[in-house]
Amino acid sequence: MQRLVVLISGRGSNMEALARAGLAAEIALVISSDPDATGLERAKRLGLPTQVLDHREYESRDDFDAALGDAIATRDPDLVALAGFMRILTPAFVARFEGKLLNIHPSLLPAFPGLRTHDRALEEGVRVHGCTVHFVTPDLDHGPIVIQAAVPVLEGDTGETLADRVLAEEHRIYPQAIRWFLSGRVRLASGRVVFREPPPAGAAVLYSPGLDN
């Protein structure tokens, strides 16, 4: 069976969505960069193995990423899924796992990379917001895009209400992107996303995507 390693730093809701998605793969390890991440308890309730690598215990990003890479390598995963992992990865780490790193980001990239995406979307007055699954590259939140889901911005939205609506879509499209990857339908080649066959109609930017194809 294929194996995933999932990286978290917080509540781990996307990790749990992956665990409950019926993927044709096992989550071989959940690694948290924060020992207080509530996602660790979620993982334990799901019966998933966990490991903590507290980034504050390392003198540099390079040292942390080297230790992280070694921990991941012990499980020889087919894919490493970043699920709310709040660390900027070094080029050396990305190169080590090139083509096997996916991330879920709470905006329609390339709009609003980084933090506070929902508040920034409201401040800019956008009418459509959403989330993106992309391959990880050394450029923060700018990797090649696999799939996106869009939601309307409603009158009276707050950062919290918009975040809740986007999160529901994150839980839908991240498992789908991983299914595509594990089945060989999608891969990273020469810095671009390549589909073995075209994705289903409407599966690139979606309001209410049908994700069973």
Q: What is the CATH number of the domain that holds 144?
A: 3.40.50.170
Its domain, for residue 65, covers 1-97
> Tell me, what's the pLDDT at 211?
44
What's 203's DSSP letter? -
Query: Considering its fold, how many domains does the chain have in total?
Result: 2
114 shares a domain with 85 = no
Short-list 38, 6, 33, CA closest to 20: 6
105, 129, 134, 171: the catalytic one is: 105
Residue at which a domain ends, from 64, 97, 130: 97
67 shares a domain with 118 = no
109 shares a domain with 213 = yes
> Tell me, what's the pLDDT at 197?
73
Q: Which amino acid is at 9?
A: S
CA atoms of 39 and 29, how far apart (whole Å): 13
Mean pLDDT in consecutive groups of 10 residues from the start of the chain, 213 residues: 97 98 97 98 98 96 98 98 96 97 97 97 96 95 94 95 97 95 94 80 46 44
**Cβ contact 213:179 at 8 Å:** no
Structure tokens at 103: 């991330």
Note if 105 is an active site residue: yes
CA atoms of 154 and 159, how far apart (whole Å): 11
121 shares a domain with 47 = no
The CA distances from residue 194 to 61, 83, 206, in Å, are 31, 22, 19
> Tell me, what's the pLDDT at 97?
98
> Tell me, what's the pLDDT at 212?
46
114 shares a domain with 81 = no
110 shares a domain with 87 = no
Residue at which a domain ends, from 74, 97, 120: 97
131 shares a domain with 43 = no
> Tell me, what's the pLDDT at 210?
42
207 shares a domain with 140 = yes
167 shares a domain with 193 = yes
Q: Whole-prediction pTM value?
A: 0.92
Structure tokens at 98: 């090139």
142 shares a domain with 77 = no
93 shares a domain with 5 = yes
> Tell me, what's the pLDDT at 163?
97
CA atoms of 130 and 99, how far apart (whole Å): 24
Residue at which a domain ends, from 39, 71, 97: 97
